[in-house]
Amino acid sequence: MRMMPLLSLRNLGMKNNSSSVIRSRLVRNIVIFFSIYTKPFMICLGLSFFAQAVGTSAFLYYGSEIFYMTQADVENIDEREESAIILDDFILGAFVIGNLISAFAIYGTGRRLIMLISLPFAFVSLLLLAYTMKESNYGDDEDPVEEDKQEYRHMERVYFIIVICVYVLAIAVGLSTTVWGITSEILPNYLLATGSALT
C-alpha cells in the first residue's frame, strides 16, 4: 500500500520532466525556425497575400455581375443577364489558359522570368481596365447625339472585355500557379507538410 503513492510520485515526476523537456524542445524549435526561416516565410506570405489581393477571384466569382453593371452585351442576345454570363466565360477561359501556360512554361523559363514578364502586363492592363470601365458607363457625356454616345460607350465596353481578359490572363500566368511553385522551393518539405496538416 505504501509503495503505490511512491510509484505514483515518481511517475508524476517523470511526467513533469518529460513535459518540461517537450516544452524546451518546442521553444528551441520555434527559435530555430524564426532564426532560419523568417525571410523565406515572409516572402511566401507576401506572395500568397499579393496573389489573393490582385482581385482575380472577384473577377472569377462576380464576372457576370461586373459585365451586367457595365452593360456589356453580346450582339443578337436581348437579355442582359444571359449576355453577362456568356461574357463571363471569356474570363474563365483566360484564367484556364493562363494557368496552363504557367504550368508548362514554369520549369523551362523559370519563376522569376515569368513574373517579370507577366506582372507589367497586369499593371498596364489594370490601368486600362479602370479607364475603360469609366468610359463604358460615363464616356462621351458631352455629345448631344445619343446614338454617337451609345456607339462610343459600346466600343469602350468591347475594349473593357478585351482588357479584363488580358488582365486575368497575365495574373494567371504570373501569380496563380507560380506562387505555389516558389513557395514549394523556398520552404523545406517538412514545413510544407506541417502547414498542410495544420490547415
- In tens, the pLDDT along 67-79 reads 777 776 666 666 6
User: Domain map of the chain by residue range?
Assistant: 54-198
Rounded distance between C-alpha atoms, residue 41 and residue 48, angstroms: 11
What CATH code is assigned to 54-198?
1.20.1250
Q: Quick one: pLDDT at residue 153? A: 78
Asked whether the whole model's pTM tops 0.75, one would answer no
Could you read off the pLDDT of 141-156 as tens digits, one per residue? 777 777 777 788 778 8
Rounded distance between C-alpha atoms, residue 38 and residue 186, angstroms: 11
Q: Quick one: pLDDT at residue 166? A: 92
Rounded distance between C-alpha atoms, residue 123 and residue 130, angstroms: 11
Rounded distance between C-alpha atoms, residue 3 and residue 11, angstroms: 12
